[in-house]
Amino acid sequence: MTAGAKTTRAFWDGTHAGQVRHRLPSRLNVGTANILRLLAARVPRGGRVLEIGFAPGKHLAYVAGRLGATVAGLDYSENGVAEARRLFAALGIDADLRCEDLFGNSFAEGSFDLVYSIGLVEHFDDPREAVRCHLALVAPGGRCILAVPHYGGLYGRLQRRVDPDNLRIHNLEIMSEAGMLALVPRDLVESCRAYPYGRPSPWTVSLERRWPGRGTRGLLWLANGLGLLQPVDIPSLCPMLVLEMRRRSAAP
């Protein structure tokens, strides 16, 4: 990673030190369901799709196994990539999974119909170069989608009370629609939009870190169930911000 990253390789290796269950992600978790719904509406069937920061690989496995895309992944955590490779092998899914840095990766420019990342660009003091690197890998006319936790509103106020240390590894300045749009490399992009997304999710706030125990866990799952029952997105309660960009088909 370049200077200005709010996290380290060791941080992500620690995050991905455990094993994941060798199955596709469950929609019973409202946070996961939000991500899968976002991807299902945007992944081109049979298209070439890259996830940046993909470890441990659950979302990317869904894109291949359920949405029928040809997939690739880029992540610089050795532990995370190793676990993802075990997951894909267990599920019998082919994928090009590379343990490389975003800023020095070996994928050819313009290789993918869709490039996306979930919870990545907010970990930079200045994410603009990271966003440009995403766009560089998108084919002309293809799409790039970036999703970050929506800590610019209600979730940020709650997180500041229960886990302020976690907020320090997030760039809060980009967590508004205007902040996300300010990241767009206009010379590469034909059209773009930023918007809040998702049903309410209690998992966006680290309540269990502040109040560990069965009671907190029970309340979280109750709130999770209410989020699953919510029929529409309510902007003030959306747990994610999404930046969606389409790469120019020709030079401006």
pLDDT digits (tens, 9 = 90+) for 198-219: 999 999 999 998 899 999 999 9
Residue pair 63/93 in contact by the 8 Å Cβ criterion: no
What is the rounded distance in angstroms from the CA atom of residue 45 to the CA atom of residue 183?
A: 28
Could you read off the pLDDT of 154-163 as tens digits, one per residue? 999 999 999 9
What is the rounded distance in angstroms from the CA atom of residue 67 to the CA atom of residue 247?
A: 22
Residue pair 35/147 in contact by the 8 Å Cβ criterion: yes
- Show the tokens assigned to 166: 């976690």
In which residue ranges of the chain is pLDDT below 50? 3
Residue with tokens 């979280």: 220
Q: What is the pLDDT of residue 3?
A: 47
Residue pair 25/63 in contact by the 8 Å Cβ criterion: no
- Show the tokens assigned to 184: 């767009």
What is the rounded distance in angstroms from the CA atom of residue 92 to the CA atom of residue 49?
A: 18
Could you read off the pLDDT of 217-236 as tens digits, one per residue? 999 999 999 999 999 999 99
Helix (H) or strand (E) holding 113: strand 112-118
- Give all domains of the chain, ordered by start, each with its CATH number: 9-247 (3.40.50.150)
Q: What is the pLDDT of residue 11?
A: 72
- Show the tokens assigned to 54: 């993909």
Q: What is the pLDDT of residue 233?
A: 97
Count of alpha carbons within 13 angstroms of residue 64, beta-carbon side: 23
Q: Are strands 138-149 and 48-52 parallel, antiparallel or unpaired?
A: unpaired
154: Cα separation from own chain's centroid? 20
